[in-house]
Amino acid sequence: MSNYIPTIGVEVHVELKTKTKIFSNSINGYGEMANSLTNVIDLAYPGTLPTLNEEVINLGIKAATILNCKIRKVMHFDRKNYFYPDISKNYQITQNATPIGYDGYVEITKENGEKKKIYIEEMHIEEDTCKSAHRGTKTLLDFNRAGVPLIEIVTKPCISSGEETKLYLEKLRELLSYGDISDCKIEEGSMRADVNVSIRKNESDPLGTKAEIKNIGSISNAKLGVEKEIERQTKLYENGETFLPQTRRFDDKLNDTVLMRVKETGNDYRYFPEPDIPFVVLTDEMIENARKTIPMLPDERRKKYLELGVSEINTKKLIQNRSLSDYFNTLLEEKTNHQVASNLLLGDISAYLNKNEKDITETTLTKERMLELIELLENNTLTSKNLKEIINEILESTETIKEIMKKNGIENITDDTEIRNIIQKIIKENPESVNDYKNGHDRAIKFLMGQVMKETKGKANPKMAMDILTEELK
């Protein structure tokens, strides 16, 4: 089989994280009783008019910024006219002529470390349609989703493989969820990707016939879908066959794409500017204000964490957990041991949170208490063994960590001279063991250490005790 060059373009729809819908004040929610989140506007009752949710415009500006897009300062909405039961007005309000963002890019890092920019043609704001469910001969309509704000992000045909498609979608998901634009849950439909695939023999050839793959349920399926489609098209060409532009869907059971329909020519949506919504003019101030609310994005977090001495593995794990990473960010400016902080968050604290199904913001661990905790661990006043005993209390009470330790009888002796006195006494009382140690029996030091702990009722700071003991035995 000879090699073809694949050309791939991706269209992604993400639902925006707003309180209300884009053109009405119905709640933007998921998983509620069918048609409970609707009003006369969503159902296109006669005489109703759209309003415009400003939150959507702000998120649009933020998304455009994150995707390195240029922002259109004077824009309007358009009507896309078509008859279908999923759109109550029988037209969708979208942005056809003046998408809010254009000419952007997202940078992916391939497995070999090579970076590639995936260019974004445009991104526009539009409304989601209603969900339809087919039951026998009947079709049921749930308008809860109708009017949920979406942005559609369209890449240039610049993606070359299933792997790149996957990396692009992962990066997009990371950026948009970190930017608080969307929760990007593919399984709930808040992120949906359609992929266009064509292949050609040489770079100089015109682009090949396009197949669009819809209904992709996961990012790994997007990769697989692209690969299967390249394979299918290659086989057809190799057998001297051609095919018509078509829409296919990814079938989870077959793990392959199947034909939905051959594309009809001349889809005529009769676009025209939406007369019910005046032109939207974005001022520099609006753009600046929206930009200011963009949280720190993953790339910047990664850079900062590594600079502060956090290990590669901890950095990666923190960024995978948005809420821990946000918590960690509150410590960035503090003079503390950030590696210890990350160990704490990813270790005992995570264990507690998982077990109790809590978010870190639901615990009592203020920044001040966290800093105290790190300090106590760092200077060995609190051992990691003792920490495990009191972690619940640390995260549930508001007392200082020292108070909690005291209440639990964890009071390590950290006074240098006091421990030295005790050690000197133990050495005097156990000349045999000292002898054994000096003759190379390492076990003897453990015995001596045991005696020290016994004498101090376990309150000696173990590291300090060991250091002094070793010193005194010289």
Q: Which stretch binds other proteins (CB under 8 A): 75-83, 188-196, 376-384, 437-445?
A: 75-83
**Binding residues with other proteins: total (CB under 8 A):** 31
Nearest distance in Å: CB 266, other proteins: 7
Neighbours of 65 (CB within 10 A): 17
Among 29, 34, 51, 453, binds other proteins (CB under 8 A): 51
The nearer residue to other proteins, 92 or 451, going by C-beta atoms, is 92
**Shorter beta-carbon distance to other proteins: residue 275 or 431:** 275
Distance CA 331, CA 326 (A): 9
The distance of closest approach from Cβ of residue 141 to other proteins in the complex, given in angstroms and rounded to an integer, is 8
Amino acid symbol at 447: F
Q: In angstroms, what is the minimal distance from the CB of 269 to other proteins? A: 9
- Residue number, 282 or 465, with CB nearest to other proteins: 282
Q: Per CB under 8 A, does 79 bind other proteins?
A: yes
* Stretch of residues binding other proteins (CB under 8 A), selected from 9-17, 36-44, 223-231, 367-375: 36-44
Of the pair 132, 421, the CB lying nearest other proteins is at 132
Which CB atom, from 31 or from 266, has the smaller least distance to other proteins?
A: 266
The residue within the footprint of other proteins, chosen from 74, 83, 111, 417 (CB under 8 A), is 83
Closer to other proteins at the Cβ: 139 or 424? 139
Q: Is 139 in the site for other proteins (CB under 8 A)?
A: yes
User: Which of 1, 33, 49, 254 lies at the binding interface for other proteins (CB under 8 A)?
Assistant: 49
272 binds other proteins (CB under 8 A): yes
Among 43-51, 233-241, 391-399, 406-414, the segment contacting other proteins (CB under 8 A): 43-51
Q: 85, 309, 409, 450: which one contacts other proteins (CB under 8 A)?
A: 85
Cβ-based nearer residue to other proteins, 261 or 474: 261
Q: Which of 268, 284, 333, 442 binds other proteins (CB under 8 A)?
A: 268
| Span from 85-93, 119-127, 411-419, 450-458 in contact with other proteins (CB under 8 A) | 85-93
Of 37-45, 200-208, 218-226, 395-403: span binding other proteins (CB under 8 A): 37-45
276 binds other proteins per the rule CB under 8 A: yes
Q: How far apart are CA 185 and CA 183, in angstroms?
A: 6
Q: Does 277 bind other proteins (CB under 8 A)?
A: yes
Residues lying near other proteins in the complex (CB under 8 A):
40, 43-52, 79, 81, 83, 85, 88-91, 139, 141, 266, 268, 270-273, 275-278
